[in-house]
Each structure stands twice: as structure tokens, then as C-alpha cells.
């Protein structure tokens, strides 16, 4: 999963056809819990561009987007927010898949 490098890159990527941003941090144990199945998610949903957003590096962006718990996910379709799975709770592979499967077309 590519790491976000700048706010400008975020704006560019969210305007792609389908993008999912994962908000995380290296120190977050619940975030590390999902690391092993992230490659599978990317493989199972090739229609999405997945991008890792370091919460500590992009704290202002997280504030703008109301991301106050990690790991969290926000999906965009053509620049419009399509859905969010935002909380401080540990997430399972099944919960993330349900979130992606439930995104509006």
C-alpha cells in the first residue's frame, strides 16, 4: 500500500475513480493487527486505489476529515465521499470487506 506524501496528493487521489484511504500510525497496535490482510484487500478490490495515511504526519488532514480514531477508512468515488468506516475500534478483515462491499456504486 502506497503511503500518502502530501495533502496535494490526497486531493489528487480522492478525485480518481475509486480510492480508499486508510488512516493509521506506526504505534497503533489495532492498526498493526490488520497489516497482514491488507495485501489481500488490495488484491480482492483492484478497482480501488488504496493509500496509507499516517495520522501523525497528517494530523491537520485528519482533523478536517473528523478522523479521531484509528485505524479508519474513507472511500471516495470520483472526488465524492462514498463511505467511511471511522472509529477507534480494532477492525477485522470481515468488517473491512463489509464496508467496501457496502459502498455505493
Residue 8 in any domain: the answer is yes
Compute the distance between CA of residue 91 and CA of residue 85 in angstroms, rounded to an integer.
9
**Predicted pLDDT of residue 44:** 96
Count of domains for the chain? 1
**Position 18 pLDDT exceeds 70:** yes
Give residue 87's pLDDT band: very low, low, confident or very high (50, 70, 90). confident
Could you tell me the residue range of the domain that residue 39 belongs to?
2-100
Compute the distance between CA of residue 76 and CA of residue 80 in angstroms, rounded to an integer.
5
Residue 12 in any domain: the answer is yes
**Position 89 pLDDT exceeds 80:** yes
Residue 28 in any domain: the answer is yes
Compute the distance between CA of residue 52 and CA of residue 68 in angstroms, rounded to an integer.
16
Residue 105 in any domain: the answer is no
Provide the CATH number for the domain around residue 71: 3.40.30.10
Compute the distance between CA of residue 37 and CA of residue 95 in angstroms, rounded to an integer.
12
Give residue 49's pLDDT band: very low, low, confident or very high (50, 70, 90). very high
Residue 47 in any domain: the answer is yes
Residue 17 in any domain: the answer is yes
pTM here? 0.94
Residue-wise pLDDT for 53-86, tens only, equals 999 999 999 999 999 899 999 999 999 999 999 9
Residue 26 in any domain: the answer is yes
Give residue 46's pLDDT band: very low, low, confident or very high (50, 70, 90). very high
| Greatest distance between any 2 Cα atoms in the chain | 34
**Predicted pLDDT of residue 105:** 61
Residue 62 in any domain: the answer is yes
Strands 72-77 and 18-24: antiparallel
Compute the distance between CA of residue 37 and CA of residue 93 in angstroms, rounded to an integer.
7
Per-state percent for the chain, helix, strand, coil, to nearest 5: 35, 25, 35
Amino acid at each position: 500500500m502506497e503511503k500518502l506524501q502530501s495533502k496535494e496528493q490526497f486531493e489528487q487521489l480522492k478525485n480518481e475513480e475509486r480510492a480508499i484511504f486508510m488512516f493509521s500510525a506506526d504505534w497503533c497496535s489495532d492498526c498493526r493487527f490488520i497489516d497482514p490482510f491488507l495485501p489481500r484487500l488490495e488484491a480482492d478490490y483492484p478497482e480501488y486505489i488504496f493509500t496509507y495515511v499516517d495520522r501523525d504526519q497528517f494530523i491537520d488532514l485528519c482533523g478536517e476529515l473528523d478522523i479521531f480514531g484509528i485505524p479508519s477508512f474513507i472511500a471516495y468515488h470520483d472526488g465524492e465521499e462514498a463511505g467511511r468506516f471511522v472509529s477507534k475500534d480494532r477492525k477485522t478483515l470481515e468488517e473491512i470487506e463489509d464496508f467496501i462491499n457496502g459502498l455505493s456504486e
